[in-house]
Amino acid sequence: MTDYIEEQRNELEALESIYPDSFTVVLENPTSFTITVTSDTGENEETVEATIQFTYIEQYPDDPPIFEIIGQENLQKSDVADIITLLNEQIQENIGMVMIFTLVTAVQEKLNEIVDQIKWRKEEEKLLKEKEAEEVEKAIFHGTLLSIENFLSWKAKFDAELAEIRRKRQKEEEQAGKVKLTGKQLFETDHNLDTSDIQFLEEGNNVEVDESLFQDMDDLELDDDDDPDYNPDLGSEED
């Protein structure tokens, strides 16, 4: 007849010796305890962890122990589900034998696999981001596929930009004097022109006259008869 109590006691002593820092007794009747399982450290110092609570039933190990994952670090829900599946499989394979050490070892190996998967996940995310960046660059380089709709949209935008360029160019040419205005246009544009002469006289500006231009007036042969307004009597009266 199997002495279940003795087998359970012996296993507890062995587990406490193997896992001194992560083994904790929760209850004595029924016997219940926790073991925290931590993965090896990954390349980037990442680790994952699971805390499992085991409870003996009366006829353990002929009957399976009860277990529950009561804590975890850096594990996804899918990882926890995989660990539960793994424990159930291991329990079925080890019925009739004390198995807690075997179960914990299996979980330890699984956690190490998960750490490796985290590394690959990060590398895949990096590659995916690089791929997305390349696709964006290709789209920018090759442009958008031509369609009637986007062509008409482009044409309308182009025409508007062209009209604005022409307007600015005409304005610049006018300011630079490239477009010459007629006298009337100048007069109508600049109203200072109609007062400039009056302002000139009011300011008392002196005009210099070159007298040499009139020194040879006596040498000019002028025919008084050709002037219909000439009055010889008027000239004699002044004398």
pLDDT digits (tens, 9 = 90+) for 51-97: 999 999 999 999 999 999 999 999 999 999 999 999 999 999 999 99
What is the sign, positive or negative, of the torsion defined by CA atoms of 121, 122, 125, 130? negative
13-27, 40-54, 181-195, 204-218: which is most confident: 13-27
**DSSP per-residue string spanning 41-99:** P-TTS---EEEEEEE--TTTTTSPPEEEEEEEES--HHHHHHHHHHHHHHHHHTTTS--
Q: What is the mean pLDDT of residues 96-111?
A: 96
For residue 165, give the 3-state DSSP assignment. helix
Annotated domain spans of the chain = 4-120
At 133, the pLDDT band (50, 70, 90 cuts) reads: confident
Evaluate whether the domain defined by 4-120 bears CATH number 3.10.110.10. Answer: yes
pTM here is 0.53
- Euclidean distance between CA atoms 235 and 86, whole angstroms: 142
Q: What is the pLDDT of residue 193?
A: 54
Q: Which helix (H) or strand (E) holds 159?
A: helix 148-176
The 10 Å Cβ neighbour count of residue 116 is 13
